[in-house]
Amino acid sequence: MIHQFDADTAADSVGEGCWKAHLTDSWNIGDNPNGGYLVATALQPVRQLCSHPDPMSVTAHFLRPGTGGAEADLTASILRTGRSVTTARASLSQGGTDRLEILAAFGQLDGSSGHGHVVTETMPDIPPPDECVERSGLEQGVELHIQSRVDMRVHPDYATAAAGKQAKTLGWIRFSDGRQPDTLSAALFVDAFPPPIFGLLGRIGWVPTIELTVHVRQRPAPGWVCGQFVTEDLHDGRMIESGTLWDSTGALFARSRQLAMLLPDAGGS
């Protein structure tokens, strides 16, 4: 069975260092594809090039919004291959316009290194998914096409866009077609939750990402993924958000950090 995420991020080689992909609008938030979906698509050629299977560190700069329902041109190249880490560069463009630039480090996250394991941040106390609230596009003020691809449940305390609350989002996420989480899906999941700032300011519309960094710590167990995201500061229309993902066993899965812009009452993703 080919799952939707794999089909929708598939990249076909069209020459040395070049690939093509079709960006579906099923991952849109408003008028534009979710940024994590674009990153995952751009990483597919890197996975084809390198022998290491798992993205460990991904830094993406969003130059312009992508366009769903259109072809995309991808490039990828290996910068260095080592015994434990492969470093690569990737890009995504549409219509001759650059949309996304990525630097990524791939490795083997199978737990076979034999080194120590120390985690100081445990999964927060959260009701099970069936006691949480489905994400609402009405609350955020945009249409959530991405809901056809992922099932998201938000902690009841953070589900309403009531101004004055903490700038925090806490909830669960999984693929709607039964695909299990993996290290590539971390790039999508960290950017698919409602922006934390919406809990503080109310309905905010579009919050476009300028830069996103994802650190994947280990391969996740099957099942739901828990995500917590906090906006740490908002200054002059730009904000910094920190996120953490835990797998269904409560193990730390990935961390993220992004710089984004606040554009109230605008449509998009």
Which residue ranges make up each domain of the chain?
4-110+117-261
What is the Cα–Cα distance from 176 to 152, expressed in whole angstroms? 9
Please state, rounded to an integer, the average pLDDT across all residues of the chain.
90
Chain segment 161-175, per-residue pLDDT in tens: 665 568 899 999 999
Q: Is the dihedral of CA 21, 25, 31, 37 positive or negative?
A: negative
In this structure, the number of other CB atoms found within 10 A of the CB of residue 103 comes to 15
Residues 27, 146 contacting (CB under 8 angstroms): yes
* CA nearest to 256, candidates 107, 79, 68, 55: 55
Q: What is the fold of 4-110+117-261?
A: Porin (2.40.160)
Residues 59, 102 contacting (CB under 8 angstroms): yes
Confidence (pTM): 0.92
Chain segment 59-110, per-residue pLDDT in tens: 999 999 999 999 999 999 999 999 999 999 999 999 999 999 999 999 999 8
- Please check the confidence at residue 140 and state whether its pLDDT lies above 90: no
